[in-house]
Amino acid sequence: MSKFKQFCFVLCLNGFSLSVLANNSKTTDNQARGMENLKIQTGALVVWDYDDFDGVHNQGEERSTLEIRRAQLQLKAKFGKNWESKFQIQLKNEVEWKDVYVKYKGWDNIDLTLGKSKEPFGLETLNSSKYTDTIERAMASQIFSPGRSYGVTLFGQTDHLTLASGLYTVEQDDDNDETNAFALTGRITYAPIIKQDTVIHLGLAGSYRDTRNNTYQLKGRLEVHQAEKVIRSAITPADNQTLFGLEAANVWGPFSFQTEYMRTFIHAKSNADIQDVIYSGYYIQTAYFLTGEHRAYKKGIFGKVKPRSKYGAWQLVTRLSQLDATGNNEGIEAKNITLGVNCYLNPNIRLSANYINTDIEESDADPDEKEANALSFRVQYLF
């Protein structure tokens, strides 16, 4: 962990500790009042996934795998009128810190977050995986969206507008000793219509990422988590990277539509014998609740599904996703078509099934390994 990350983590812990101490360092009456203002909420998540896939996913061979995809514990604390924090860890092969931050909410319509959290880029990425309509996020979201980073974020909102921006550290390869690379990331959303069951959402995001003395390569899976990382682009010695994203979503009662387009510009080092390169991707997704529910919307993202009856909420999903990772005479193009069904038995239990048909284009690919089929199943439990 770099010094900057250690600083953020320690500051989060200190902020939490000092605020609690401040609430408990006055008279007896003030101590009681401070304890009333301290609210702690704990939670956990367990997700089991089963994947069956063939073709390009596994060098032409069929394979089936079962895994505990996620096992998470989290603690949220609110203290005083203006402070809150979140500590979330993931338990798998090793303990991994997910969200670790402290947030100040004392300004009108503006929040300040310090620590590790998601950078403001990508609607599907910012939506919690607990509430995405498909089991896996689209290729473009997985490949291009930065995800979680250590840094500082400012978030502001009005009735129809959100604006977020922040300064973050950039993760480096294990064999790279550079620790002072950084990223500037921002996102703006506008929702001209926000009603109980009707939403129109538009968004724009961008990120400038310093990749000092590092190389850049796209790596990823074709929306099947336990399959091989088939997506690989050319390796580019890069000075910096610029990300650009467009997003739109609509909710009309039980029907919803969502799409994103992302593009990245890789600026090669001036002394490298290689050209600048551009990669891009998009997805188009529709969903329909057979049982009449609608997607909840707040602060520029979608949230929890609440079944209307004791029989649960049933949802059908379709998605087309595409990724172009070709450049400098290397890389692949990939297209996925996903058909899915979700059953929310109650607010805490979700069952999902996805069928994914894949087609890739690659100059040196075996003809028998340019297509693939996959079935993915998920059981998700929140408690």
Task: For residue 381, give the 3-state DSSP assignment.
Answer: strand
How much is the pTM? 0.87
Rounded Cα distance, 307 and 297, in Å: 16
In the chain, the amino acid numbered 183 is A
Instruction: Look at residue 328 in the predicted model and tell me its pLDDT.
Output: 85
What is the full DSSP assignment across 305-365? Answer: ---SSTT-EEEEEEEEEEEE--BTTB--EEEEEEEEEEEEEETTEEEEEEEEEEEEE-TT-
Indicate if the alpha-carbon torsion angle 172, 178, 180, 181 is positive or negative. negative
Instruction: Look at residue 38 in the predicted model and tell me its pLDDT.
Output: 81
Q: What is the mean pLDDT of each run of 10 residues along the chain (383 residues)?
A: 45 41 40 63 94 91 92 91 92 86 92 96 95 96 94 95 94 51 95 95 96 83 94 89 97 97 91 85 98 94 91 96 92 96 95 96 63 96 91
Q: Give whole-number Cα distances, 97 to 17, 18, 143, 237, 372, in Å.
A: 19, 22, 21, 30, 34
Here the tokens at position 63 are 């394979």
In the chain, the amino acid numbered 20 is V
Instruction: Look at residue 15 in the predicted model and tell me its pLDDT.
Output: 44
Non-local CB neighbours of 127 within 8 Å, separated by 6+ positions: 301, 302, 303
What is the full DSSP assignment across 113-162? Answer: EEEEEE-S--HHHHS-TTS-SSSS--HHHHHH---EEEEEEEEEE-SSEE
Question: Contacts for 338-343 with beta carbons within 8 Å, 24 or more apart?
Answer: 338/134, 338/223, 340/133, 340/134, 340/135, 340/316, 341/314, 341/315, 341/316, 341/317, 342/133, 342/313, 342/314, 342/315, 342/317, 343/312, 343/313, 343/314, 343/315
Give 250's Cβ-side CA count (13 Å radius): 5
Q: What is the DSSP letter of 101?
A: E
Instruction: Look at residue 367 in the predicted model and tell me its pLDDT.
Output: 56
Instruction: Look at residue 8 in the predicted model and tell me its pLDDT.
Output: 47
- Helices and strands of the chain, counted as H and E runs: 4, 20
Q: How many CB atoms lie within 10 A of CB 311?
A: 10
Instruction: Look at residue 170 in the predicted model and tell me its pLDDT.
Output: 81
Instruction: Look at residue 94 in the predicted model and tell me its pLDDT.
Output: 80
Which domains are present in the chain? 41-382 (2.40.160.10)
> Which residue, among 120, 19, 135, has the nearest Cα to 77 in the 3D structure?
19
Cβ burial of 367 (10 Å; 0-12, 13-18, 19+) is exposed
